[in-house]
Amino acid sequence: MKIVAWTGKSYPAGSEEKKLMNVTDLDSHLQTIGKWKCLVLGCHDLNMFSPRSVANRGPGSRRGQRADDLIRRAKAYRPEIVLQHPHTTDTPNIWMGGWCGITREIGPKRYASGISYFWPRHGKKHRADLGEVLARTRMGDVVDYVWSGPGRVHAVG
């Protein structure tokens, strides 16, 4: 295996901010994958683009400056695809503000989340069904791949 690029989380959730190493190399989020210009976001990074997050950032805060800087860089880079890895989720609602902001600010042709359909605080009860989560966390010509156990990968849609 050859590592061709890397990135990590640059805008952790408040509860993670002191526990995680923050990736301050914002250009690492702007990657060419094959022929595509991509914006790659770790979990909560998507919320840098959420109008609610933008409105609630402290003026001059380090988090706010980093978010504004990534938004400026992403606009200049003009990615065609945005990829997000939000660890676990069982509802699209927590990401809708971020996806709306991405659509307005960047205007990609496609976006998608790579998720584990699970939310530890709710045990076996999901807040939305998998079909709704898949439909509302992607845009454009995207194929959903669902892995449901050893050797069980299939395309959906």
Return the bridge partners of 147, or none: 153
For residue 151, the model assigns a pLDDT of: 62
Segments forming the whole domain that contains residue 31: 26-156
Q: Does residue 3 sit within a domain? A: no
| 2 falls within a domain | no
Structural domains counted in the chain? 1
pTM equals: 0.83
Task: Note whether residue 20 is domain-resident.
Answer: no
Classify residue 102: in a domain, yes or no.
yes
- In a domain, residue 151? The reply is yes
Find how far residue 142's CA is from the centre of its chain: 15
Half-sphere exposure of 85 (CA within 13 A, CB side): 7
pLDDT (tens digit, 0 to 9) for every residue of the chain, 157 residues total?
777 676 777 776 777 767 776 777 899 999 999 999 999 998 889 999 999 998 988 878 888 898 999 999 999 999 999 999 887 788 888 889 999 999 999 999 999 888 877 777 766 678 888 889 888 889 998 888 877 666 666 666 6
pLDDT value for 23: 78
Output the DSSP codes for the chain: ---------SS--TTTTTTS-----GGGGEEEETTEEEEEEEGGGGGGG-HHHHHHSPTT-HHHHHHHHHHHHHHHH--SEEEEE-SEES-SGGGHHHHHHHHHHT--SEEEE--EE--GGGTT--SS-HHHHHHHTEESS--EEEE-STT-EEEE-
Domain membership flag for residue 4: no
Token reading at 34: 């094959």
Q: What per-residue confidence (pLDDT) applies to 88?
A: 79
